[in-house]
Amino acid sequence: MYQNLRADAETIVRSAIAAVLPDEAVRRALKGRHFPGRVLLVAAGKAAWQMARAAVEALGPVDAGVVVTKYGHVQGQLPGVACYEAGHPVPDENSFRATQAALDLVAGAKETDTVLFLLSGGGSALLEKPLLPAAELQDITRQLLASGADIVEMNTIRKRLSAVKGGRFAQHCAPARVCSIVLSDIIGDPLDMIASGPAYPDSSTCADARRIADKYALPLSAEAAEHSSRTLPVMWVSTLSSALGVSCCRQARAASDRRRPYVSAMAWAWAQVERSGTTGPEAIISRGSPKMSLSTML
């Protein structure tokens, strides 16, 4: 009896873990999808290389792509994709160089093109184009890391000091369509805070940024304080449905009808950001019913 319970439990746990691995989740998200025009792939985060590999396997070779991930995380070449390794948790020159390569890639994108944007934890450091001198941004990042600030507080500050965070990357992609697959590493899955929301409208305010700077006594320069007081780009948002959640529990249930482990959920989100006349990019967030499978939701 005990051996059967143990075997069932191990099967469930292994199935749950396999179901939420970055590559498997990306394959499910892209299953049966086709993008007209050119497909430009940009992947940023600690899981960027795995996500990009899965996307290429699901879609076939992309027209061009850039991957930026943590040192030691590139596991080989991907057809048509330039892979970069860079600093984490503090951005470095390689972060800036890789981000510029991504911006150069999307700079000539047309309305008929699709930017497939794959985002995972660590993207705040890895995808970065500072609005401040690099050394100052790095110092502020180190201070935030040492201050005890939580990830939402940190990213509220970092968004305002970056040319690619808080929806700004999506603006660089216009007029192309941006389709994002986001792997959440933050409780509650706030899409504007995961990797500082490069392709999602900001929910924080300048007042929030000032409060956080005061709370942790951050010695911001006049230039940094000025950037922190600016409102981030406005993007009109249409939420198509209520909630997205592909939990380990739900995936594990397919492996065993009799038992369900108490394990943490990992959420995925699909965002389509497209230009809307003169009002700037429009973010259409597809978030499916918890009763639906990921492939159905997307």
Report strand pairing: 81-86 vs 64-70: parallel
For residue 46, pLDDT beyond 60: yes
As beta bridge partners, residue 273 has: 178, 283
What's residue 289's pLDDT?
Answer: 25
For residue 266, pLDDT beyond 80: no
| Candidate from 49-58, 152-161, 196-205, 235-244 with smallest mean pLDDT | 235-244
Q: Rounded mean pLDDT of 174-198?
A: 90
The label of the residue with tokens 């429009």 reads 282
| Candidate from 85-94, 128-137, 245-254, 272-281 with smallest mean pLDDT | 272-281
For residue 238, pLDDT beyond 70: no
Higher-pLDDT residue of 266, 103: 103
What's residue 2's pLDDT?
Answer: 63
List of residues 6+ apart from 274 with CB closer than 8 A: 177, 178, 281, 282, 284
The label of the residue with tokens 């808080």 reads 166
Burial of 210 (0-12, 13-18, 19+ CB in 10 A): middle
**Mean pLDDT across the chain, nearest whole number?**
79
Q: Rounded mean pLDDT of 224-228?
A: 92
Question: Vertex 153, ends 235 and 279: CA angle to 5°?
Answer: 5
Confidence of residue 278 (pLDDT cuts 50, 70, 90): very low
Q: Rounded mean pLDDT of 109-131?
A: 95
State which of 24-38, 73-87, 218-232, 269-283 shows the largest mean pLDDT. Answer: 73-87
> Cα separation of 237 and 129, whole Å?
25
The pTM of this model reads 0.77
Q: Rounded mean pLDDT of 98-120?
A: 96
Confidence of residue 1 (pLDDT cuts 50, 70, 90): low
What's residue 233's pLDDT?
Answer: 63
Which structural domains are found in the chain, ordered by start? Answer: 2-297 (3.40.50.10180)
